[in-house]
Copies of this chain bind each other. A is one copy, B any other.
Amino acid sequence: MILCDIGNTYIHFCDTYKIWKNLPDEINKKELSSDVYYISVNSINEKKLLKAHKNSYNIASIVNLDTPYVGLGIDRKAACLGVENGVIIDAGSAITVDVMDAGNHLGGIILPGLAAYTQAYRSISPALEKRINFGMDFDELPLNTQSAISYGAIKSVVLTIKEIVGDKKAYFTGGDGKFLAKFFEKAIYSEMLVFNGMQISIDKALKKHKEQK
């Protein structure tokens, strides 16, 4: 059984302890040697998985999170399911920040992903078309455009996450999760958060199925 999380940019796979990601147009079929159980936030990329691997099954209907939040993405639901208390930050194309308290989802926010910041600056003016400097020093005020946009993007994301996290535990996942976790004392980084929640959902569904027999 392979677990699969279809995002807006990448398709992430998990086969027991092995994790990998493919671009939707570059799915490595050789890796997909068994049934794939997936969730998806992008219907175009979902079709690409189904084309690459027929035996793929959407398990959204068994990924259940109690929440008053309307329209919570299925990947956010899955990531939250594995955390009883804490803040879950999934830093991918978008950066989602969700609060779990005693197993209840209290709400969450959405920031642009760091790549989306680069794209946003570029779209404002060619003069702002610079790479984010991930090694920059935040103790000094920026003295050039690259530092100025790097400070703006990274600091704004970090400060907003800090505002939500407070003294709670922060669980990071996603492509930029490892980088962002560095700015937090009580941070845990795991590539497995979404897959953990999917596995919890599958286990629950199987248990229920057995009980009904």
Interface residues, chain A, with chain B CB atoms under 8 Å away: 8, 41-42, 68-71, 73, 93-96, 99, 106-113, 116-117, 119-121, 123-125, 127-128, 140-145, 148-149, 151-153, 155-157, 159-160, 163-164
Contact = CB atoms under 8 A, between A and B. Distances in A.
A94 B128 contact: yes
A151 B128 CA distance: 24
Which 9 pairs show the lowest CB-CB distances between chains A and B?
A107-B141, A156-B156, A159-B159, A112-B120, A111-B152, A120-B120, A156-B160, A110-B148, A109-B151
Contact of A107 (B117, B128, B142): B142
Contacts of A8: 124-125
Contacts of A127: 41, 71, 73
Contacts of A160: 152, 155-156, 159
A105 to B, nearest CB: 9
Nearest to A9: B124
Contact of A109 (B93, B95, B152): B152
Contact of A144 (B71, B116, B123): B71
Contacts of A151: 109-110
A119 B121 CA distance: 11
B149 A110 contact: yes
Given A94-B128, A145-B71, A156-B157, A110 B121 contact: yes
A94 B124 contact: yes
